[in-house]
Structure 1
Amino acid sequence: VITNKSPMGPYRGAGRPEASFIMERMIDLLADRIGKDPADVRLINASDVPFTSPTGLQVMDASRPFLEKALKTMNYYEISKNEKTGLSFFVLIPSTRPGQSARIVSGDGHIKVYLGGDTHGQGHEAWARNIIKEYLNVDESLVTLENGDTKELDEGVGAWGSRSAIVGGSALVNACKKIREQVKSKFGEYAPDKLLNNHFDAQDFFSADFSLNSLNANMITARVLNRRVDVTGWYCYYDLGNVLDMGNVIGQIQGGALEGIGQVLSEGIKYSDDGQLITNSISLAGLLKADDIPDKFHIHIAENPSDVPSHAKGLGESPTIGTPSALARAIELNTGRRVRITPIGPDYL
């Protein structure tokens, strides 16, 4: 078969948003048919203990206590009395395997950090500097994150799948411990100036061979007027384990939220009736504009440390997983029509 259709590739979430959308839309449909609040239906079906799903996924935390805390923190029951409110509840499954590497090189009053997963906008340099400060007591201004280079690292895997702070951060923590021991072995004690003014080199590869999934929830309020959706409030309650850099976390969440909203309202591939590609540039692909940004972001973080050295959990894909189904629900409460597809643009409305 010869086709001119666009090929498919992973976007932020890489299959998780689609799977969550189907499941959450089914829960909302069930709630409507039996006349219960969608939050209550989710609570009834949540677990008081960690459990293994029918497909073999080991969910590490009890979901009902987490969801109860999320609903209270986001003030769901009060807000949903007066506003069209959508809710989503999901498990983030980060791609931790097969691990990640990190290297620290000191000398000339400076520290260079190499990560096996290169950064392409996620802000790895922020949490890398924080880890160096915490474990080596070195000021952030003296730390540089170098671009990933196969010449400088024995092994590297990549920055994808909400994994970097978990495996890359853990490899960096272990490298900090190794280089600290090198300083103590040479000088009898550790001191930052001894590290900075002498050449030391430590490398680590960390692999997590156990599940590091985390529970997360989103809530969205929206209004529909004149064939336009106005997202009036975007809420989340995410378990991030140990937050390595809060500013970086907020940026990750807001950016991912906009991607999730774009998936629902505008982003897509379009063809003419005779099969010609219409969205032949990124400007025509439905990317959000500034006036599509939610009026307010309400970001709430739970910190239940994981068992890896960085104590972090995944984040990168969570906003794109939780946003679409919650926003779809808010839209259907406004319109009174079941939302089954995206994007939901002006013509659809």
Structure 2
Amino acid sequence: MRRPHLLARLPLDPWILTLLGTVGLAALLPARGWAATVAQGVATGAVALLFFLYGARLSTREALDGLRHWRLHLTVLACTFVLFPVLGLAARGLVPTLLTPQLYGGLLFLCLVPSTIQSSIAFTSIARGNVPAAICAGSFSSLAGIVLTPLLAAGLLGGNGGGFSLDSLLKIVLQLLLPFLLGQALRPRVGGLLVRRKKVLGYVDRGSILLVVYAAFSAGMAAGVWHQVSAARLGALMAVEGVLLAVMLLVSWHGAKRLGFGRADRIAIQFAGSKKSLAAGLPMASVLFGAQAGLAVLPLMLFHQMQLMVCAVLARRRARDPEPAAGPELPAGRVAEVSPALQHPATRAR
């Protein structure tokens, strides 16, 4: 009876272990030649399917109900798509002393992806924060990231990583935006069915991400990009990401206080504004970086695990805070209706 309890207390997320296992498989048995072409084609189709499911599940009307708390959502969006990119650009000074150009490209891309949904909600709830606001903030960030992340990548990544071009923009439109819009258009017909089949769709979501990871890391092995990364560089990358996470946690917490938010709202802002979505970032990286996506997503994978571990500790500390939690400023009844459509199984990996 003790063993499951001990396993549940392990700091590593089982989903991360699955991703690492996929990376190991790609390292030992990378897809080459015709197999690489097939793997890339299947991964491309899986990404399109993934974003179609996102569009088919997301209720635009319910998500827009959360706009009543617009100051909080704008603050989270500013953390995610303004402050994070500014810090990412500042890290350019660490090249080449601490980071290689390829690792820096991945770090900058990490700073451009949207926030999480499920983990932001979970940590906000543990810390006795404004859960309805966290639901909407994470949802708006994910929706905005479909447009803002590629646009920011086009303007900021430049020649880093795999580069960005009009051809990449066209791929983003065809593989990400168009399937999402198609899912939104067909939502009245298939949305209810998708919500009722969440368990099956969870396999589709996670399977799609695993296919993307395998194809990306196989391409990286074939291109020999891993010979460019040493243990010292990886250690430096983890140290830089630790500083990045610490800065965002501090700024989002104290900045929200300066803006006049109460404790419950500050908790939602801190957890939604300091985190990055692995599930949203991986498919986008496969489109943006091409053959170098494997190395480009490494910073995001490391940051994802780091934020889960740190925020789990922080949420428990906030829960022990003797200060009473302020009541949520949003009507919980209406906004809470968003969660069944948004908390699909893939968001648990976020």
Name the TM-score, length of structure 1 as normaliser. 0.25
* Higher percent of residues as strand: 1
Name the TM-score, length of structure 2 as normaliser. 0.25
* Higher percent of residues as helix: 2
Which structure carries more relative contact order (alpha carbon 8 Å, separation 6+)? 2
